[in-house]
Amino acid sequence: MARKRKERSANPVLAKNRAARHEFHILETFEAGIELLGTEVKSAREGRVNLKDAYGKIRNGEVFLVNAHISPYTHGNRENHDPLRPRKLLLHKREIGKLAKAVETAGLTLIPLAMILKGGLIKLEICIAKGKKLHDKREDSRTREAEREMARETGQHR
């Protein structure tokens, strides 16, 4: 009897910022490396990451992830990391320039969307985003509800 192997996704998602798409208009996304300590990597691989209140900040020509919570590693010792420390993002110089220009001039912000595992490395999907107003959020929820209703109707008539 042949054994079926579990299919793995190409890039497993370690953490997702579900509130980002609800709170912001996503304009452009980037994939960045992230500078982590050993215990942070182990904790992230366990999925113990919270990106909800996190954002990107540009300081001295470098991009940092601020307010991302990576829980201390369960089997760590006294050398465990600080859960809320700022973490440097690894991007090309022209990408950093593009991000800096967008944040500076247009009043946009940098929001992390997801932390993924890609080829054994932990990457962060970060985006340039603009905050939504209350009426935008309501309109989006109405649109989603209408799409669900249409899908339900077409599914019943088959």
- Domains along the chain with CATH numbers: 13-156 (2.40.280.10)
Looking at residue 92, its pLDDT comes to 93
> Whose CA is closest to 99, among 50, 34, 31?
31
CB 128 within 8 A of CB 108: yes
pLDDT, one tens digit per residue, over 43-75 is: 888 888 888 888 889 999 899 999 988 888 888
Residue 129 CA to residue 140 CA, distance in Å, equals: 16
Looking at residue 9, its pLDDT comes to 60
Looking at residue 3, its pLDDT comes to 52
Residue ranges for the chain with pLDDT beneath 50: 1, 158
Predicted model pTM = 0.74
Looking at residue 40, its pLDDT comes to 83
